[in-house]
């Protein structure tokens, strides 16, 4: 199963998954078991892509596929070999920086190198580059802006499908409806839920800005 660099279609729940949902209703099967069943369906499918968002039950609980025949860590390793073979110097440099950061996180914080850690590292790398672009704009360095934007494109290949502005705002509205914040003092509560729902799928700096504006 490969991660698409471009557009990824959202999964239409298959008849097989619908049957498992019905079975859950009839036999009251724990959701944990249903998740395991769904994982088997995903593994046997050639059409479901990493980063696909789908719903498991009537509560519309969202899940993101981050594992399959090939996970993101495996893709990172494959892409590094490919970049070496094709002599893509800039792409190779970005990938090596990501791998070095993963290793550093493992050493410093005793973290397991997995897709979740990769998403964290990639988000940090993207944030650093966006901050750099802001500085390059001040110095009118279009050459460095272009180079950094290309690096961000490389990094985006290792994140789940990014949500649109409308999708992000809809989720934020749902969080507000759930939390019912009374003002800026509830920023922490709202951001906590936003992190859980949007981390890896949206620019959290922009999410924070939207939330802060709604709390004013």
Angstrom distance (rounded) from CA 123 to CA 199: 9
Residues found in the chain: 216
Total tally of structural domains belonging to the chain = 3
The pLDDT tens digits for 153-187 are 999 999 888 888 899 999 999 999 998 988 889 89
Same domain, 119 and 190: no
139 Cβ contact partners less than 8 Å away, ≥ 6 residues apart? none
Q: Report if residue 83 sits inside a domain.
A: yes
Q: Report if residue 92 sits inside a domain.
A: yes
Same domain, 151 and 169: no
Q: What is the band of 81 on the pLDDT scale with cuts at 50, 70, 90?
A: very high
User: Which percentage of the chain shows pLDDT scores above 90?
Assistant: 43
Angstrom distance (rounded) from CA 187 to CA 208: 9
More confident residue, 19 or 60: 19
pLDDT of residue 204: 83
Q: For residue 87, what are its two tokens? A: 């002599």
Q: Report if residue 1 sits inside a domain.
A: no
Same domain, 80 and 149: yes
Nearest to 158 by CA among 127, 193, 115: 115
> Phi and psi of 70, rounded to 5°?
-140, 120
Same domain, 82 and 146: yes
Q: What is the band of 31 on the pLDDT scale with cuts at 50, 70, 90?
A: low
Q: For residue 129, what are its two tokens? A: 């580059």
Same domain, 181 and 206: yes
Q: What is the band of 15 on the pLDDT scale with cuts at 50, 70, 90?
A: low
The CATH number given to whatever domain includes residue 111 is 1.10.1510.10
- Does residue 118 carry a pLDDT above 80? yes
Domain's final residue, options 108, 126, 156:
156
Range of the domain at 86: 72-156
């Amino acid at each position: 199963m490969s991660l698409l660099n471009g557009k990824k279609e959202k999964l239409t729940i298959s008849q097989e998954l619908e049957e498992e949902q019905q079975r859950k209703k009839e036999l009251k099967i724990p959701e944990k078991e249903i998740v395991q069943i769904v994982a088997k369906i995903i593994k046997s499918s050639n059409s479901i892509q990493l980063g696909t968002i789908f719903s498991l039950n009537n509560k519309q609980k969202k899940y993101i596929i981050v594992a399959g025949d090939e996970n993101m860590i495996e893709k990172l390793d494959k892409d590094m070999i490919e970049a070496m073979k094709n002599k893509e110097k800039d792409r190779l440099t970005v990938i090596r920086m990501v791998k070095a950061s993963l290793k550093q996180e493992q050493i410093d914080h005793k973290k397991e190198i997995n897709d979740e850690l990769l998403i964290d590292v990639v988000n940090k790398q993207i944030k650093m580059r966006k901050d750099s672009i802001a500085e390059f704009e001040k110095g009118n360095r279009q050459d460095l802006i272009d180079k950094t934007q290309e690096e961000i494109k490389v990094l985006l290949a290792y994140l789940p499908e990014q949500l649109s502005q409308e999708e992000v705002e809809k989720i934020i509205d749902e969080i507000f409806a759930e939390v019912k914040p009374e003002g800026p003092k509830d920023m922490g509560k709202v951001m906590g839920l936003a992190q859980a729902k949007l981390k890896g799928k949206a620019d959290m700096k922009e999410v924070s800005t939207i939330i802060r504006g709604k709390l004013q």
